[in-house]
Structure 1
Amino acid sequence: MKNIFLLFTAATLLFSCGEEIKKSSISDLNSEKNSIINQIDSLNKQLKIVENKLLKLDTTKKLHVVTILPVKKEVFKHYIDIQGVVKADKNIEIRPEMGGTVTAIYVKEGQQVAAGQTLIQLDDAAVKNSIAELTTQLNLAKTTFDRQERLWNQKIGSEMQYLQAKAQKEGLENNLASLKTQVRKMKIIAPFSGIVDEIFPKIGELTSPTAATVRLLNLNNVYIEADVTETYLPVVKIGTETILNFPSIGKEVESKITQIGNYINPDNRSFKARINISNKDNSIKPNLLANLKIVDFKQEGLVIPSTLVQKDQKGNNYVFTINTANGENIVDKKLITILKEYNNEVFISEGLEATDTLVDKGARIVKAGDIVKINN
């Protein structure tokens, strides 16, 4: 029993002491906590000061690595991008002036022909027979007229006989000339030098003035025709520079506007523009599509890549440049004014000098005032 009592007394004392320690620790611990926090803040400030001093003294500190790009001073061109179609003045379908049966074809498709060369012969037998018959009649009429003229000069015979013989002779001459013209029209002749692209009839087929017989082309000189919206009337003039690209054949040609239309199409509010081009190798074909770039702005000035331009919170355009001082490369922020942009390049009207050096790769990870390392 004595032992039990002693144990109970000891437990009671321990419980009482625990309550006192707990009560006294809450206030003490809060005070100690605040003291530690103050010490931490003080140490953090001291640590920051030491780190800043180390950054200035440490030559092995890590710097952002960037590349640089000089500002270019050159002629900047801005283009209008439209589409046009190749056409040729000497691209025709030849039709006969008179109908008839095809008796001979003297050329082949793809053949080069000269101006005046006979391409197709139509049946002219009936006309030639008429010419032969009329020639016989004309010879008799000439003999009769010659005799009547000699008699009339000798004051023999009547004037009426003389005039009738003369009229008959001249009438036959005119008829004969008309038949010879018809014979010539039975030949289909090349009006200019070029290439026979297609022959439509076959030997023995009947043709008429409404049916094409031969397509003849001369592609040494062709032109591009394009519809340009009326908005560009002030800038698109005769002589304006153009770049013509033919994606189907992988060819690009530089030329100038040759002709400007004077009529505004009310359907699409556009006017016609024509660009003549040389085509000695005949690689550019009629109706081929062409992508046109027409210069609407041209000026010498400062040009930089558009990828280097950034916007701040106020919407201002800016770029980063490098300012070298005391052996350090310091990033500088410069506000710029963009006048024109084309093909991933911008024309700067204000904010940069020709001597400035731009931050190229790494421009998105630096900020104004940063010291950077330049990677050449």
Structure 2
Amino acid sequence: MSKPIQLIFALLILLPACSEPPSEHAPIIRSIAWQKVTLEPIQQVRNLPGNIVPAETAPLSFQVGGKVQAIQVRLGDQVQAGQLLAQLDTSNYQLALQAAQGEVKKAQAHYSERQAEYLRFQQLLEQQLVSKSQFDNAKSQAQTARSSLEVATTQAKIAQKNLADTQLLAPYKGQISKQYVEPSQQVASGQTIFEIEGQHGFEIEVFVPETMIRYIDVGQTFTVTSQVAKDRALNASVIEIASRAENANSFKVILQFNQTHPNLRAGMSVEVEFVYLSSERNNVTGNAVRVPVSAVLAGANQENFVFVFNAQNNRLEKRAVLTENVIENKILITQGLSAGEIIATAGVHFLHDDQQVTLLQNQINIFN
């Protein structure tokens, strides 16, 4: 082999030995979804069922007993104030009134007689023609006759009122919501004949558990949802809070609608969303942080962690936090974070302490 060719082979063998060693691959830096920490008051959200009731309602009854002679209205009828609703048989009450009026005439005649005698004895006493005891006796009889007349007059007024009470009248403008009797039925005084609903809107009855009643105050306004009024946002304000527990240690709370809706009726069911400030299961009060469920990493011994981004070195810190309730897919964190810090909100199972990352610029919402 010629020397030039040998020289070329020698150079080809030496060239790889003189080249630089291959470089290692650079580490992959993950981009993370993130959220800046903001503090807000600790809130609870509790949805409780409620029933719609009329704001103005009353049972209607006769103040006297008797046989129902006529029913003038039916269930669902609209009535005006003072309208006749039902009538009792008046025969006995008319006779009672006539008897009472007869007693008044009798007492009036007796009183007139005794009063005239008293005046006559007064003149005779001035003329010293009768004794003082005879005059006092005439005066006493006149006073007794006057008292009897007053009693008879009162009895006649009662009889007149009883006769008038055989008519049942509407106390105000409204709608007949219930009817309990029919014509010819015998009813007692005070027995409910109808129930009437006024036209002053609707209220909601809700039974609030004893654990949250202390957070509810008169004047608070809450969101109301109804299956028949999905086209309009409704809310109602608390107007009454019971002072004593009723069913299952719960307290009755009355809310009044702030809007009207044509589909709402008494007796319908609604749901009231109670949002209120409270202490949580660890008896923590004050401010908290709402983070997505996907931002919290569960550890051993019921510990929970989040990854906090350090903007100075672009690395993550795995930090223990104190968590509270889950509300609307958000976890409340009450300890471990400060306002303004940045935390990872997704993929935390693939992150680790001191990991170098970058912040995702165009974020999308990620939910577990």
1: CA distance between counterparts of 2:47 and 2:259? 26
Pairwise CA distance, 1:196: 1.8
Q: In the alignment, which of 165, 168, 172 is matched to residue 185 of structure 1?
A: 165
Contact 1:220 1:279 in 2 (8 A): no
Larger radius of gyration, structure 1 or 2? 1
Pairwise CA distance, 1:74: 2.5
Letter aligned with residue 299 of structure 1: G
Q: In the alignment, which of 118, 128, 131 is matched to residue 152 of structure 1?
A: 118
1: CA distance between counterparts of 2:358 and 2:300? 24
Contact 2:236 2:257 in 1 (8 A): no
Contact 2:100 2:159 in 1 (8 A): no
2: CA distance between counterparts of 1:120 and 1:292? 43
Task: Provide the residue aligned with 1:319 in structure 2.
Answer: 306
2: CA distance between counterparts of 1:322 and 1:334? 10
Pairwise CA distance, 1:86: 5.2
Q: In the alignment, which of 229, 241, 256 is matched to residue 277 of structure 1?
A: 256
Letter aligned with residue 196 of structure 2: L
1: CA distance between counterparts of 2:148 and 2:299? 101
Distance 1:314 1:262, change over 3 A: closer
2: CA distance between counterparts of 1:240 and 1:80? 18
1:20-39 equivalences under 5 Å are none
2: CA distance between counterparts of 1:370 and 1:210? 82
Task: Provide the residue aligned with 2:155 in structure 1.
Answer: 175
Contact 1:339 1:349 in 2 (8 A): yes
Pairwise CA distance, 1:253: 3.0
Task: Provide the residue aligned with 2:335 in structure 1.
Answer: 350
Contact 1:257 1:273 in 2 (8 A): no
TM normalised by structure 2 equals 0.66
CA offsets, 1:222-260, max 9 Å, x none?
35241524x557x44655957464544457535448435
Pairwise CA distance, 1:78: 1.8
Task: Provide the residue aligned with 1:259 in structure 2.
Answer: 241
1: CA distance between counterparts of 2:111 and 2:337? 99
Letter aligned with residue 281 of structure 1: T
CA RMSD of aligned residues (A): 4.2
Contact 2:236 2:258 in 1 (8 A): no
Task: Provide the residue aligned with 2:205 in structure 1.
Answer: 224
Contact 2:234 2:259 in 1 (8 A): no
TM normalised by structure 1 equals 0.65
2: CA distance between counterparts of 1:364 and 1:355? 23
Structure 2 unaligned residues grouped into runs of 5+:
1-19, 125-134, 280-284, 363-368
Task: Provide the residue aligned with 1:200 in structure 2.
Answer: 180
Pairwise CA distance, 1:214: 0.4
Letter aligned with residue 72 of structure 1: T
Letter aligned with residue 224 of structure 1: E
Task: Provide the residue aligned with 2:38 in structure 1.
Answer: 72
Contact 2:63 2:165 in 1 (8 A): yes
Q: Does 1:371 align with 2:344?
A: no
Letter aligned with residue 213 of structure 1: I
Distance 1:165 1:359, change over 3 A: closer
1:85-164 equivalences under 5 Å are 85=51, 90-113=56-79, 117-132=83-98, 134-135=100-101, 138-139=104-105, 141-143=107-109, 145-155=111-121, 159=138
Contact 1:336 1:352 in 2 (8 A): yes
Distance 1:215 1:256, change over 3 A: closer
Letter aligned with residue 318 of structure 1: F
1: CA distance between counterparts of 2:236 and 2:258? 12
Bigger share in helix? 1
1: CA distance between counterparts of 2:360 and 2:151? 101
Pairwise CA distance, 1:350: 3.1
Give the secondary structure class of the aligned counterpart of 1:172.
helix
2: CA distance between counterparts of 1:316 and 1:338? 9
Distance 1:315 1:244, change over 3 A: same
Task: Provide the residue aligned with 1:19 in structure 2.
Answer: none
Pairwise CA distance, 1:278: 4.2
Contact 1:226 1:272 in 2 (8 A): yes
2: CA distance between counterparts of 1:240 and 1:161? 65
Contact 2:80 2:170 in 1 (8 A): yes
Contact 2:207 2:252 in 1 (8 A): yes
Q: In the alignment, which of 6, 10, 24 is matched to residue 51 of structure 1?
A: 24
Contact 1:63 1:373 in 2 (8 A): no
Pairwise CA distance, 1:308: 1.2
Distance 1:68 1:293, change over 3 A: same
Task: Provide the residue aligned with 1:9 in structure 2.
Answer: none
Contact 1:331 1:372 in 2 (8 A): no
Give the secondary structure class of the aligned counterpart of 1:179.
helix
Aligned residues: 316
Q: In the alignment, which of 294, 299, 302 is matched to residue 286 of structure 2?
A: 299
